[in-house]
Amino acid sequence: MLFGRLVGSWAVTSTRFDEGGATGSAEGEWHFAWVLGGRGVQDVLFSSGPTGDDHSAALRCYDPAIDAWHVTWMHPAAGEFVHMKARSEEERIVLEGLDVRNGRPCRSFFDAITAGAFVWRGQALAEDGTTWAVRREITARRTRG
């Protein structure tokens, strides 16, 4: 049930960051659903408004052999494709992987998960190879269970 507790619909506020700080935010929706006969969770994230191309999707499937979830995330309009593994770490979900476009490690976290809200943060590794920086933060509020 690592991702099962997210199944449903969420209203989100997404904020992007670059080296100088916040670069903009958008409202949107994030929908999670069971797929593949209950063996996976698929989600679709999109922003509301006129942009039309700011949407992404992920497929998340549990692998008992490694006690982790395989996650493939894609944002085709931006040419972004990421493969990660996800595990529970105390009260949060930790995803670590590789951005296949640039070959750099990436990671993200689902934090402060409750029945009605969560925060997701995506981080990128800087060119120095040691510094992690938040590149996107999404706050979510459940709209349907």
Burial class (CB in 10 A: 0-12, 13-18, 19+), 58: buried
Amino acid at 76: P
Please report, rounded to a whole number, the percentage of residues in the chain having pLDDT higher than 70: 94
With a cut of 70, say whether residue 115 has pLDDT above it: yes
Mean predicted confidence (pLDDT) in 84-106 = 90
| Range(s) of the domain holding residue 70 | 4-144
- pLDDT given at position 145: 65
Q: Which of 2-16, 39-53, 66-80 has the lowest mean pLDDT?
A: 39-53
pLDDT-derived band at 51, boundaries 50, 70, 90: low
The structural domain count of the chain equals 1
- pLDDT given at position 29: 94
With a cut of 80, say whether residue 82 has pLDDT above it: yes
Average pLDDT, the chain: 89
Gap between the Cα atoms of 3 and 133, Å rounded: 24
Q: What is the CATH classification number for the domain harbouring 38?
A: 2.40.128.20
Predicted TM-score (pTM) of this structure: 0.89
- pLDDT given at position 3: 93
Q: What single-letter DSSP state applies at residue 53? A: -
Burial class (CB in 10 A: 0-12, 13-18, 19+), 28: buried
